[in-house]
Structure 1
Amino acid sequence: MRQDPPPGAAPDWTIPQGFERYTEAEHAVWRTLYARQMKLLPGRAVPEFLEGAALLGMEEGIPDFRRLSDRLMALTGWQVVAVPGLVPDDMFFEHLANRRFVAGNFIRKPDELDYLEAPDVFHDVFGHVPLLAHKVFADYMQAYGKGGLRSMGFGALHKLARLYWYTVEFGLVQTGEGLRIYGAGILSSAGESRFALDSPSPNRLGFDLMRVMRTRYRIDAFQQTYFVIESFESLLQQTLETDFAPLYAALAALPDLAITDILPTDRVLTRGSQAQAA
């Protein structure tokens, strides 16, 4: 991808959201998606997500990032900034490390409700931002950004990307009431919100940092393996207490793992049939 900001973007790749340019039809798409997910997610999403969504008040239409950031800043010191699309890795980490979440400002078309190749404002804001109202998860996101900046000298960005994929995007957590969703890629998808918890197809494995960073992933289908954390506190603690330099060295000496591999050392919650992938 290009490394210099496109025309109209600031040096940090941010752009004006252009809130006043959204049409009523675009707001209607948001309301349709929001209502569908909020009907589906109680009992599936982690409670902290539902609490964050209620605190931020996003049900009326595409949120104005300025007002959303004001609410979020008061809660955890985060803000939401618009970008024109995917940004370079160093800029992405820089924003996270400074408690800025980057979000696209376009929304999918009415005929794209169930699948969109590029993440839009619904995925970015509805899927990610409610959990940024939760202090521990907000701290994890900042720690990930700082770790990303440090990782750039180790040639291991693809390993660190797997941690983001299997936690921030497609993570599950074990609660006293059972498995719950916290990954934004699941939370923003009606189909995967059902699949991740109900389907016998995927593996569901206990989270292990090195294991996750060895595991490949695919972006074009429902997940074949989900990793389950014990709590946000344990995820943050592992991230803050791990010295990633020797971890990257150890990972470099180990082969990558296929998406469906199950190791003798894995804590297996569900051994999936992989029927959906087949």
Structure 2
Amino acid sequence: MTNESHVLDTPPPGANADWTIDQGWERYTADEHAVWDTLYQRQIKLLPGRASKAYLKGLEALRLSESGIPNFEELSDRLERLTGWRVVAVPGLVPDDVFFEHMANRRFVSGNFIRRADQLDYLQEPDVFHDVFGHVPMLADPVFADYLEAYGRGGLRALDLGALKQLARLYWYTVEFGLVEEDGDLRIYGSGIVSSSAESVFALDDPSPHRIAFDLKRVMRTEYRIDDFQQNYFVIPSFDELLRVTVETDFAPVYDEILPLPAVPVAAILDSDRVIHHGTQDYARAKGWGELVA
């Protein structure tokens, strides 16, 4: 299944009005299924003792250990019985309002293409492995499932309030690259980490990045990189607390407060931060990111 461009402005021919398409599971080749299996086996060796309990429980409940790229209909039936969510295929990166509308209605959008065998370690655009292996197990957790629905509703509101960039940072530092405290240790739950063999190790073991206690306003002011390891990871105390902060906060006055403020560089420490681990920042300096370590 070949898809050369996954960033679209208008629905392609054959897409539904809500941008969904048929996954086309029967058209995956043996080589494409083999890429999934290679990625799965590599990650499953790394994640015990690193990934959160919620993620590992979801991985098992959804039977993602079965060989080959999951069939979205079968996967969605299992997921819907647990938390009411379904996985729907889309032709690429969809417009923000479409993305939020699906999420607010417990539909998780996923690309249906998979990376090539020579792209195992990095892919700029999210493929079916990132979207399904990385994201979907957390949707089997009732609390996190509620958080993501609330985020979708908040996204629709952020579009009206001109604060999409600020809310996107919350998604990045929780859903994509979040850490959580469990039994006195840090664990990974963000999809960008659990689906990456290198960042699964870097996020927890490398001395370079900072690990900082989660603070909503701080996170929504913090820039991020999409092309390399994160240099600040934000640590939530629990998924219950993440949900509580999200649903109990009126975001409109928060946006009014933070929109005039300067963005915080990707590797910065603020005086107000509760730092769990003060990183060496050796990686950022080696990359020449000195201007980002204010």
TM-score exceeds 0.5? yes
Task: Tell me which residue corresponds to 1:43.
Answer: 49
| TM-score, scaled to structure 1 | 0.98
| TM-score, scaled to structure 2 | 0.93
Task: Tell me which residue corresponds to 2:207.
Answer: 200
Once the two structures are TM-superposed, the CA of residue 124 in structure 1 deviates from its matched residue by 0.2
Task: Tell me which residue corresponds to 1:147.
Answer: 154
Once the two structures are TM-superposed, the CA of residue 245 in structure 1 deviates from its matched residue by 0.6
Q: Please give the alpha-carbon distance, in whole angstroms, between the structure 1 residues aligned to 2:184 and 2:269.
A: 26
SS at match of 2:87: strand
Matched, 1:8 2:9: no
Runs of 4+ in 1 over 3 A off after TM superposition: none
Matched, 1:58 2:76: no
Aligned partner letter, 2:51? A
Residue-by-residue CA offset, 1:56-106 (whole Å, 9 max, x unaligned): 112211000000000000000000000011000000000000000000001
Once the two structures are TM-superposed, the CA of residue 273 in structure 1 deviates from its matched residue by 1.3
Gaps of 5+ in 2: 1-6, 287-294
Aligned partner letter, 1:50? L
SS at match of 1:140: helix
Q: Please give the alpha-carbon distance, in whole angstroms, between the structure 1 residues aligned to 2:159 and 2:42.
A: 39
Work out which of the residue numbers 234, 237, 241 in structure 1 matches 2:244. 237
Q: Please give the alpha-carbon distance, in whole angstroms, between the structure 2 residues aligned to 1:8 and 1:225.
A: 41
Task: Tell me which residue corresponds to 1:21.
Answer: 27
SS at match of 1:272: coil
Q: Please give the alpha-carbon distance, in whole angstroms, between the structure 1 residues aligned to 2:155 and 2:254.
A: 14
Q: Please give the alpha-carbon distance, in whole angstroms, between the structure 2 residues aligned to 1:98 and 1:264.
A: 39
Task: Tell me which residue corresponds to 2:83.
Answer: 76
Gaps of 5+ in 1: none
Q: Percent identity?
A: 66
Residue-by-residue CA offset, 1:100-154 (whole Å, 9 max, x unaligned): 0000001111111111111100000000000100000000000000000111111
SS at match of 2:108: strand
Task: Tell me which residue corresponds to 2:180.
Answer: 173
Q: Please give the alpha-carbon distance, in whole angstroms, between the structure 2 residues aligned to 1:141 and 1:258.
A: 26
Higher mean displacement: 197-206 or 5-14: 5-14
Task: Tell me which residue corresponds to 1:214.
Answer: 221
Aligned ranges for residues 157-172 of structure 1 at < 5 Å?
157-172=164-179
Q: Please give the alpha-carbon distance, in whole angstroms, between the structure 2 residues aligned to 1:88 and 1:267.
A: 35
Task: Tell me which residue corresponds to 1:247.
Answer: 254
Aligned partner letter, 1:146? R
Q: Please give the alpha-carbon distance, in whole angstroms, between the structure 2 residues aligned to 1:109 and 1:240.
A: 40
Aligned partner letter, 2:10? D
Aligned residues: 278
Q: Please give the alpha-carbon distance, in whole angstroms, between the structure 2 residues aligned to 1:89 and 1:2.
A: 12
Q: Please give the alpha-carbon distance, in whole angstroms, between the structure 2 residues aligned to 1:77 and 1:184.
A: 20
Task: Tell me which residue corresponds to 1:137.
Answer: 144
Q: Please give the alpha-carbon distance, in whole angstroms, between the structure 2 residues aligned to 1:2 and 1:108.
A: 18
Q: Please give the alpha-carbon distance, in whole angstroms, between the structure 1 residues aligned to 2:220 and 2:98.
A: 22
Q: Please give the alpha-carbon distance, in whole angstroms, between the structure 2 residues aligned to 1:144 and 1:103.
A: 17
SS at match of 2:161: coil
Residues 8, 92 of structure 2: 8 Å contact kept: no
Work out which of the residue numbers 93, 106, 116 in structure 2 matches 1:99. 106
Task: Tell me which residue corresponds to 2:132.
Answer: 125
Q: CA RMSD in A?
A: 0.9
Task: Tell me which residue corresponds to 1:31.
Answer: 37
SS at match of 1:152: helix
